[in-house]
Chain A
Amino acid sequence: MKILPIVAGALVFAACSGSQTRPDGVPLGSQPDAGVAAPVVKEPTPAPPASAASRAPEPQKPSEPPLMPDQPFRNGRPEPVQRAAKFDAPVPIERKLKNGARVLIVPNHSVPLVAVEVRLLHGVDAVPIAKAGLAELVADAVLEGTRKRSAEQLARDIEDIAAHLTSSAGNESTAVHLNCLSERLPKGLDILADVVTQPAFRPADVERVRTLRLARLLQKQANIGQLAADEARRLMYGADHPLGQPDSGTPAIVQKIQRREIAAQHKAWWVPNDSVIAVAGDVDPDEAMKLLERAFASWRPRPMPELELPPPRPAGKRFISLVEKPSATQSQVWVVGPLFPARDPDAVPLEIANNVLGGVFTSRLNLNLREKHGYSYGVFSALQLGRLSGNFRAQGGIIAKSTVPAAAEYEKEIAAFASGDMTEDELRRARDTYIRTLPSQLETSDAVASAMANLVVLGRPLDYYKTLPDRAQALTREQVVDVVKKWVKPESWPVVIVGPVGDARAELEKLGFGPVEKAAVPP
């Protein structure tokens, strides 16, 4: 297979911190809650910046006649042409299986492919903190054999029909995602249902899953972005909350999780009455229902355990949480703060506003940290909104020696943003980007299936994407600014720094962000 490893791009993609990363550092995708297994759009991490410290030579005038005469029609950006097409975002057809599973279908016959995502509506949230990493192990282990298929047979059956089958656990849901040629859908669904409902968890397969997961946890130690993400989780949820635990647990815990615990977790939470199945692509809805009923006939509803989730306990004060990492040549600087669940009406205005601060390449944070100061390879900010809670984070990789001044620039930008400083033109731009990039986010069947499943996880209406452009368009600057002022509170938001800080710690103390505290990183 071609991998084209030898491509150098103008903007280099880096793993979203907190996402799963292959040992070689290639991002595999973000958390299921943001669209599992789909080739979702990742934050661009731009190429490294100019070194501000170097002395720039005097500007030179071009020394020779231009290649082309000037042509006045080239002055200024051209007017758009008329295109009738308005984006008609998908609204799924809703059905229900006899076993109670909700089914959402978006037919699209343009390419002979179908994506099917079974989404269980719990994930890491349903794991006690002493078992952190269990949800991810269950997601790994279901792909390693079923009662009627050995691990080897299962792999062969999937590859024989050229399907992709992936599984992963997120904060509040777990996804098993199938992509196959539409002509192989019956077989594909047979395999998908087998994996979801009849995993065998044979001891040898469980041990392999454990070994591979431990290898990834080991490699994670070299990834300062993932370490920053873990610390951010702890600061936003508290050490006694399931979502406050390190992503995929710790080696000490994963080492000890029993096979029977994996089976029990699956039995308790992988139930049709707490799931949604999203289908997108080249399939007829009635045909899809017939195939799904047949494939999932043996999946019976079961009563679920009571889940008593403690409320998140965000740090609630400004300080610097430091993870010293002497071997790194960069540092990660993050600012994190608690927000609200995805259903909150403030979500759309704040997402739009975030495009002004750090949502895109030409947002303020990146223009300042990368373009103006050359401290960073790219600084971005994002909202992560879940079913029950949500957070803000600004994050970036910083050239180690610039860590302290970079942190000061984050503060400057976020404070100005929090005060409501935003022009009409900035808002227009932020809103245009928000509305006009939507089609590309829903381009593939994989992306549509994951997005539809996500609507259910987050409690959003099924016409969410269809109405989104109009809702975004209707917002005034005052409304947007009010929402920013209501929620963006850097004076009580902690800063996470992971890197080779060393002696610069004293300088950090002088920034006025409160005390510098050594993070309590679990083993």
Chain B
Amino acid sequence: MTTNIYNEVLLDHNLHPLHLHELPCATCSNEGLNPTCGDSLTLHLNIENGVITDGSFTGVGCAISQASTDIMLDLIIGRTPQEAKHLGHLFGKMIGGEITDDELEELEEAGALQNISKMPARVKCATLGWKTLEKLLDENT
């Protein structure tokens, strides 16, 4: 039996995502694919003068991938690509079950996904947005 991962934070970001929309001003976009379910999402970022000034995502996915991506965009908008990559690294550590309490605090709401580390089948859902971000930043910064 699984831990219940569908907590309020996750459900709220899934039902009312702030960043699920097109982004006409985007300077770069990248599609991420989850091969286990065939879901895909496209991440759009507007990077100006070394800062992620805006971001959004489009596409369909499960509650975990949608909420995780929405929370991620909350976290990274207004930060530099380096800071965003650092958060992605911490998120990976959290999913791997090896994060410290201080680091967990840095992840703010993304900490709501900590229990995914106990559900190996859903790890790819939780990390889809972050992996797509990593690739996008590697290619565009």
Is chain B found bound to chain A in the same assembly?
A: no
Interface residues of A (CB under 8 A from B): none
Interface residues of B (CB under 8 A from A): none
